[in-house]
Structure 1
Amino acid sequence: MANIREIAKRAGVSVSTVSRVLNGYPYVKEEKRRAVWDVIHQLNYKKNINAVHLSKGRTNIIGVMLPTINHPYFSMIVEGISEEALRYGYHLLFFQTNYDIHKEQEALEMLRVKQIDGLIICSHTIRLETIASYTNDGPIVLCEDTSEPHLFSVYIDHYHAFALGMDYLIKKGHCKIGYCLSRPTSINSQKRKAAYKDALQSIHAPIRPDWMFHHCLHMSDGKRIASTILSLEEKPTALLVASDQVAAGIVLWGKTYGLHVPNDLAIVSFDNHPISEALHITTIELPLSLIGKKAFQMIYDYFTNDKTQPTKEKLPVRLIERASV
């Protein structure tokens, strides 16, 4: 296979001139540039991309760890990451883990062996201490609030967001309030539960385990919740639902079963996905695409602007009133 030394010899130029031509640098005389490209075409030369990465110490590939792509919460974060990656000429490598610790570890190991330049973690099961042990291998950005000093993070205050929803429902006259969460053990869910309990205790309302629903991720889970609520002897009058998809399922299946929103059940959900607007669901808008953009920018600045000191950035949320309360 031809190499740049042979190209330089045949074109009658230096090796450094060939390198400048291949990398698009200016200040190369036009006749030399043409001579180099003529030889490149004659020899059918192709860049050895692995050698380029080795020489630069960079791959221009950013890893993105997420449990699933098939969920609006994560797909909206990915949308923001992808927009910035395209803008700056980076490639993305996705690690869909389904919360499998071994798959999460594989993503971290790829950072360690320099197959990716940095890693954005949308959600995880693996311990923060384990993640932090890889920070010497490259920048790691978490899409959650973390006190770990060695990790970058861009996040939403999920305690505040849930408290905002609870306060809104309470001001609307509700005290029999339930919730729907995804993974009950996740950091974000723990903060949401704390806000929920604090709000009920502030008005001396009971905390009812049978009004607390977990593992709610998809629209089909809304069917399960609507059915369960109808079977309860004492029913909640309102739900705080951590996903517009689940809220949409409750609205649609509830209508089928005879559970009407908001007359029988008020709903406040999260994300502000287009489906919440279509079904007139009151929701708390989470800036998920912006999270993705900020996460990518942190890694880009790490390499380009030498911003290697981990930073943490909290993004605001807002409540959008519609017809479900």
Structure 2
Amino acid sequence: MAKIPVGISTCLLGKNVRHDGGHKHSRFCTGQLARYFDYHPVCPELEAGFGVPRPAIQLRQQGEAVRLMESKGERDYTDEMTHWIDGALPGLEHLRGYILMAKSPSCGMERIKVHNEKGRTIHRDGRGLFADALMRAYPLLPVEEEGRLNDSHLRENFIERVYAYDDWMRLNENGLTRAGLVAFHTRHKFQLMAHDEPGYRELGRLIANQKDEPLETVAERYIGRFMEIMKVHIRRGAHANVMQHMMGFLRDALSDSDRAVICEQIAAYQREEVPLVVPMSLLRMAQRRRPVSYLEQQEYMAPYPEDLGLRNRI
């Protein structure tokens, strides 16, 4: 399987591109994820021509505007950065996800310090100039900060979204059709149900009534809401509900004792005694024993490569 194109802050790959000549190597990114992600490294400050080493920079509030300024000086880098960003963004449209460096005035996704004209911190809810432009230009793109990937739930959610968005992009590259849109919705039904059941039903109605509007209009509304739903954290009870739903499709493959064991493990998962992989493995074994075509289509069964071990930790 071809690797998925994902953007990443260059310093996370161990490259010495930071202002002090150092890096922020992420072993998770260059180890496990690199087996499946084809990285597109970007260092906005370096590529905008600021050099290495270079003075540290910060966000400063000047009236209504936020400027990118030298931390210990008056040099303003905003126009240079903005010019570079305008030229760089069109070359990122092929990406299926992006991993940013936290706390950076160029790459930070959230909680970035903003200073006054004297360099004093006035609030911490800024966003790096490049990160902000990226997320505005590509609002559907799954974006996450490397540090937040240490959280098992955030990590699993980000990677699940990357694979779902890759599916959507490939659907469009091959030529979007109404039948293709229906097929996309069908294979992601259980995922949507787990993330947000009312949202799942909302998208089902949109698909059912899609002939009332032009395909492009329906598709735009659909994927915008789809990616919103996929951001919702899945509760254990929602996973349990989907797994019990799956058991209904597997009734011919399950003996009474099989069903009892799976129910026990689903209940144990809800009590936080076992990870999700335990009951899911039992359901997948039953599916292999007597395949059900509808379940075979469901991305929920294997939303990303199994050897990433993501369901071992949620």
TM-score (norm. length: structure 1): 0.27
TM-score (norm. length: structure 2): 0.28
Q: Which of 1 and 2 has higher RCO (CA within 8 Å, sep 6+)? A: 1
